[in-house]
């Protein structure tokens, strides 16, 4: 008999979206043979889970206490612009790179009018923000209030909820603005549709200035070095993808993505739902489509598009984009992907002789939410005939309890896989 599990803490909306198929009730049931007690996600130390370069840098510090939602670590990124919750190590790397880009952008002189129009207070660093670390007793209350105000302003916060991708408003329709913003972003290796509010506002201010003729055609961004802040891992297709993000508007990208998905055999209604999802930015959608194109005729790609169409917050949007990159990298480096299948609402890929579920995860704990998702996967695989071998591929690690439950049900777990 399945074992009902009672929830002992609020369910993270981002985690629920990432793990649990839509429509399931809050009363969670584990679909495994032997009852097993759920575990609470751990509280970790930044010093133990992050290398020194990610913990501290010229423009950031990570709070020492790191919570985990059962899948991803939730970091508190302390910057000159405030403190930001960041869900997952992959996203943390991206945010730190964006802070490096932002520091260089702030060296450029921009007329005050354009700063004000873009929200100057979000561009100029808030002096003394690092007192969060050096004088925690004196600043923690005010910092918490500031973070709540900022989270409310950008429509997100610690809950993982958000209002989705927001265009730049009416200014995006002004002649030259969108084009200038995309080109500036390309020059500095940034995502023109970034969700990181300080960088978004800085790019907007520079784009307004350039569109108004107050900035030179190129503003000497050669000093911004290092890897791009767009985390793309699909090999030879990177250069074309970057050119598309630079040269094509969001509407033009939508048209290209639509044509590519229809050519893959995805149903028009599924394509429409995917392209209309506001929790996926144009960059997310383009990377996902490009990753699927790289699979060389794999069948059932509509399974992944339908999964992506159903995500309902930005954290899940980035994770879905990251998962697509992992699948493309697995196809290129490890074993060709022949198709997709849905295992209890979780997309798995078919490779020679087995099914593989790839997951961007920092620490996979056997929480009620994880138990629900894993139980659905186990049950769906059992229903297949013949029953294929199955791998779970993680970028991070799993708890002993999670490893035990999966292995007892015929799954092989591969940990710390770099894709």
How does pLDDT run across 144-180, given as a tens digit for each residue? 343 333 333 323 333 333 455 555 554 444 558 899 9
User: In this predicted model, which residue has the larger pLDDT, 80 or 19?
Assistant: 80
Q: What is the predicted pLDDT for the residue at 188?
A: 86
Give 399's DSSP letter.
-
pLDDT digits (tens, 9 = 90+) for 306-363: 999 999 999 999 999 999 999 999 999 999 999 999 999 999 999 998 999 999 999 9
User: In this predicted model, which residue has the larger pLDDT, 124 or 342?
Assistant: 342
Give the count of beta carbons closer than 10 Å to the beta carbon of residue 67: 18
Cα 165 to the center of its chain, rounded Å: 13
Q: How confident is the model at residue 116 (pLDDT cuts 50, 70, 90)?
A: very low
Answer yes or no: is pLDDT of 40 > 60: yes
Q: How confident is the model at residue 7 (pLDDT cuts 50, 70, 90)?
A: very low
Lowest mean pLDDT among 80-89, 202-211, 403-412: 202-211
For 18-26, which contacts have Cβ atoms below 8 Å and span 24 or more sequence positions? 18/71, 18/315, 18/316, 18/319, 19/70, 19/71, 19/346, 19/369, 19/370, 19/372, 19/373, 20/345, 20/369, 20/372, 20/373, 21/344, 21/345, 21/346, 21/376, 22/310, 22/345, 24/372
CA-to-CA distance for 338 and 317, rounded, in angstroms? 24
Q: What is the predicted pLDDT for the residue at 107?
A: 81
Percent of the chain with pLDDT over 70: 70
pLDDT digits (tens, 9 = 90+) for 361-389: 999 999 999 999 999 999 999 999 899 99
Residue with tokens 């769906």: 380
Q: What is the predicted pLDDT for the residue at 12?
A: 53
Q: What is the predicted pLDDT for the residue at 70?
A: 96
Pair 388, 354: CB distance under 8 Å: yes
Q: What is the predicted pLDDT for the residue at 238?
A: 79
Pick the most confident of 31-40, 194-203, 210-219: 194-203
Tell me the torsion sign for CA atoms 156, 162, 165, 171: negative
Q: How confident is the model at residue 299 (pLDDT cuts 50, 70, 90)?
A: very high
Q: What is the predicted pLDDT for the residue at 166?
A: 56
Pair 122, 274: CB distance under 8 Å: no
Per-residue pLDDT, averaged over 179-188, amounts to 91
Answer yes or no: is pLDDT of 88 > 80: yes
3-state secondary structure of 364: strand
- Exposure string (b/e) for 389-413, b if CB count within 10 Å is 16 or more? ebbbbbbbebbebbbebbeebebeb
Q: How confident is the model at residue 275 (pLDDT cuts 50, 70, 90)?
A: very high
Q: What is the predicted pLDDT for the residue at 210?
A: 85
pLDDT digits (tens, 9 = 90+) for 220-230: 444 343 444 44
Pair 364, 383: CB distance under 8 Å: no
Pair 31, 379: CB distance under 8 Å: yes
Pair 126, 62: CB distance under 8 Å: no
Q: What is the predicted pLDDT for the residue at 274?
A: 98
Task: Please give the full DSSP string across 21-86, using - where no structure is assigned.
Answer: -TT--SSEEE-SSS-----PPPEEEHHHHS-HHHHEETTEEE-SEEEE-SSSEEEEEEETTEEEEE
Q: What is the predicted pLDDT for the residue at 293?
A: 95
Q: What is the predicted pLDDT for the residue at 135?
A: 38
User: In this predicted model, which residue has the larger pLDDT, 7 or 202?
Assistant: 202
Tokens of 373: 């998702």
User: In this predicted model, which residue has the larger pLDDT, 236 or 371?
Assistant: 371
Per-residue pLDDT, averaged over 278-307, amounts to 96
Domain ranges of the chain: 44-223, 235-414
> Which helix (H) or strand (E) element contains residue 316?
helix 314-333
Per-residue pLDDT, averaged over 20-42, amounts to 54
CA-to-CA distance for 112 and 236, rounded, in angstroms? 41
pLDDT digits (tens, 9 = 90+) for 250-269: 999 999 999 999 999 999 99
pLDDT, the chain, mean: 80
Percent of the chain with pLDDT over 90: 62
């Amino acid at each position: 008999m399945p074992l009902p599990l009672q929830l002992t803490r609020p369910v993270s909306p981002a985690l629920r979206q990432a793990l649990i198929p839509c429509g399931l009730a809050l009363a969670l049931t584990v679909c495994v043979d032997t009852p097993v007690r759920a575990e609470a996600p751990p509280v970790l130390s930044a010093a133990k889970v992050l290398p020194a370069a990610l913990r501290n840098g010229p423009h950031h510090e990570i709070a020492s206490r790191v919570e985990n939602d059962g899948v991803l670590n939730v970091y508190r990124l302390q910057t000159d612009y405030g403190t930001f919750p960041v869900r997952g190590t992959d996203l943390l790397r991206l945010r730190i790179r964006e802070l490096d880009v932002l520091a260089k952008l702030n060296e450029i002189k921009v007329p005050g009018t354009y700063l004000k129009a873009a929200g100057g207070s979000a561009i100029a660093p808030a002096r003394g923000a690092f007192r969060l670390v050096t004088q925690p007793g004196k600043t923690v209350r005010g910092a918490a209030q500031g973070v709540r105000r900022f989270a409310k302003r950008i429509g997100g916060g610690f809950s993982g909820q958000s209002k989705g991708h927001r265009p730049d408003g009416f200014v995006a329709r002004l002649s030259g603005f969108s084009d200038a913003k995309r080109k500036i972003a390309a020059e500095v290796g940034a995502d023109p549709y970034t969700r990181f509010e300080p960088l978004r506002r800085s790019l907007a201010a520079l784009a307004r200035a350039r569109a108004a003729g107050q900035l030179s055609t190129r503003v000497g961004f050669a000093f911004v070095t290092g890897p791009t802040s767009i985390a793309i891992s699909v090999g030879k297709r990177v250069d074309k993808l970057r050119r598309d993000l630079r040269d094509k508007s969001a509407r033009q990208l939508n048209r290209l993505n639509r044509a590519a998905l229809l050519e893959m055999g995805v149903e028009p209604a599924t394509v429409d739902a995917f392209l209309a999802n506001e929790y996926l930015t144009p960059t997310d959608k383009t990377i996902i489509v490009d990753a699927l194109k790289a699979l060389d005729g794999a069948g059932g790609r509509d399974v992944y598009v339908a999964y992506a169409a159903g995500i309902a917050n930005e954290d899940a949007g980035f994770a879905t984009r990251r998962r697509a990159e992992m699948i493309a990298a697995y196809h290129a480096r490890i074993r060709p992907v022949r198709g997709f299948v849905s295992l209890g609402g979780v997309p798995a890929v078919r490779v020679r002789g087995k099914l593989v579920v790839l997951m961007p995860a920092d620490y996979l704990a056997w929480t009620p939410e994880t138990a629900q998702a894993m139980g659905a996967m186990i049950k769906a695989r059992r229903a297949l005939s013949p029953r294929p071998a199955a791998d779970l591929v993680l970028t991070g690690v799993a708890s002993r309890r999670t490893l035990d439950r999966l292995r007892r049900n015929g799954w092989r777990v591969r940990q710390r896989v770099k894709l």
